[in-house]
Amino acid sequence: MTVEPRDTALPLDGVTVLDLSRVLAGPYASQLLGDLGADVWKVERPGSGDETRGWGPPFAAGESAYFLSVNRNKRSAALDFADATDQALVRAAAGRADVVIENFLPGALARFGLDAAALRAANPALVVCSITGYGQSGPYAALPGYDAVLQGFTGLMSITGEPDRPPVKVGVATIDVLAGCHAAAAILAALVGRLRTGRGAHLDVALAECGIAGLVNVAQAALTGVPARRHGTAHPQIVPYQTFAAADAPIVVAVGNDEQWSRLCVALGRPEWAARAEWRANRDRVLRRDDVVAALAARVAERPAGEWLAALAAAGVPAGPVRDVADVVADPALAERDFVRPARLAGEPRDVPVLALPWRVDGARPPLRLPPPRLGEHTGAFRARFGGGG
């Protein structure tokens, strides 16, 4: 397997994470912790493992692309919670861990003695992060939560798509990813708090609440009585801020202030638009959205995308192409910035490319220490570490 050398300690070196979660939100959170140096042990169901191992095609090196995307820097132990020996082993591991991440329905782990209350009673310093669809309490707590359902439930789907078309789902499980990020942040905060108090915490992370929080300005507008609606690629409170069809391809133009609006008008060869009093301020352009957008659309359609993007870049106007994901991941900039890493899975002769942590520390990304694991690849090591046997 590909393991990169390290010259310095990572921020979470010495932190042990017991990951009892599966699918996306929980594994995304534990992957972030693993990227930062935590020792992450992923416990999976024997035989089938994490559901996402079967979510394909596509597959690479025998593993689904979905699984590969959120399980780097982890080890896998295949253990059965219904088996008394394995159950005791997981409890023992929780007794020595710093963090447990789980995404079972509230109360589901209690029958195995693996619920937050039982684990923290045995290990008061333990941080338990429970990720569920709707939280540990409330009228929806017993409902299972999957991202597509939550995109509808939270209102995200209602504001996604064209105004005259049905609501659509965002193309990636964005609420799961948001919840994973919030879970990781909550865990890090709890670990910092433990330095002062010596006590752990039970963190209740709900996908629904993360999704609603992710609506940011749209949710706040609704709280103030302004109903949300679909704007296609446009922005509800900024104009122009959307895609426009150039002569050969669409481009995105994102004007964030009135100075940029003036520069846009000049770059488009229409300086007179900047002088129009009824278009000068953003609030006026929002109120006259249809007129402004129609004028811009007609002008942008006259020339190819490359010419407009060059002109807008020279003018300092935020703009860019609409790229295919295949083109994105093939962009040499990703390799130049060390954002794509080679990972060699167990038993494979060739590497599989995976993404890295999407930010740097002191100019460098943390190394890829472990490739995504095979199901149960480290079960023996888990038993030796936490059970004292082979």
Is residue 46 located within the same domain as residue 157?
yes
Is residue 86 located within the same domain as residue 156?
yes
Query: Would residue 75 count as lying in a domain?
Result: yes
pLDDT at residue 3 in the model: 46
Is residue 124 located within the same domain as residue 144?
yes
CATH number at residue 279: 3.30.1540.10
CA 388 – CA 386 distance, rounded (Å): 6
Is residue 116 located within the same domain as residue 83?
yes
Query: Would residue 240 count as lying in a domain?
Result: no
Whether 389 shows a pLDDT value over 90: the answer reads no
Is residue 27 located within the same domain as residue 118?
yes
Is residue 99 located within the same domain as residue 126?
yes
pLDDT tens, residue by residue, 273-320: 999 999 999 999 999 999 999 999 999 999 999 999 999 999 999 999
CA 184 – CA 187 distance, rounded (Å): 5
* Domain count of the fold of the chain: 2
Q: In the chain, what is the straight-line distance between the N-terminal and C-terminal CA atoms, in Å?
A: 22
Per-residue confidence at 390, pLDDT binned at 50, 70, 90? very low
Is residue 298 located within the same domain as residue 350?
no
Query: Would residue 244 count as lying in a domain?
Result: no
CATH number at residue 62: 3.40.50.10540
Domain residues for the domain of 95 are: 16-215+328-386
pLDDT at residue 269 in the model: 97
- Sheet of 319-321, strands arranged across: 241-245, 250-254, 319-321
Q: Is 75 left (phi over 0), alpha (psi -120 to 50) or beta?
A: beta
Per-residue confidence at 2, pLDDT binned at 50, 70, 90? very low
* DSSP per-residue string spanning 289-355: HHHHHHHHHHHHTTS-HHHHHHHHHHHT--EEE---HHHHHT-HHHHHTT-EEEE--TT-SS-EEEE
Mean predicted confidence (pLDDT) in 12-31:
97
Query: Would residue 68 count as lying in a domain?
Result: yes
Is residue 126 located within the same domain as residue 157?
yes
Question: Quick one: which of 186, 195, 146 has its CA closest to 30?
Answer: 186
pLDDT at residue 280 in the model: 94
pLDDT tens, residue by residue, 355-366: 999 999 899 999
Single out the residue in 321, 346, 376 at which a domain terminates: 321
Is residue 260 located within the same domain as residue 313?
yes
Per-residue confidence at 7, pLDDT binned at 50, 70, 90? low
Using DSSP's 3-state secondary structure scheme, residue 63 falls into strand
Is residue 30 located within the same domain as residue 87?
yes
Is residue 170 located within the same domain as residue 275?
no
Known catalytic residues? 176
Instruction: Return the percentage of the chain with pLDDT > 70, whole number.
Output: 97
For the beta carbon of residue 216, count every other beta carbon within 10 angstroms: 9
Per-residue confidence at 185, pLDDT binned at 50, 70, 90? very high
Is residue 332 located within the same domain as residue 314?
no
Reading the block at residue 260, the tokens are: 């940029």
pLDDT at residue 1 in the model: 33
Query: Would residue 243 count as lying in a domain?
Result: no
Query: Would residue 24 count as lying in a domain?
Result: yes
Mean of pLDDT over the chain: 95
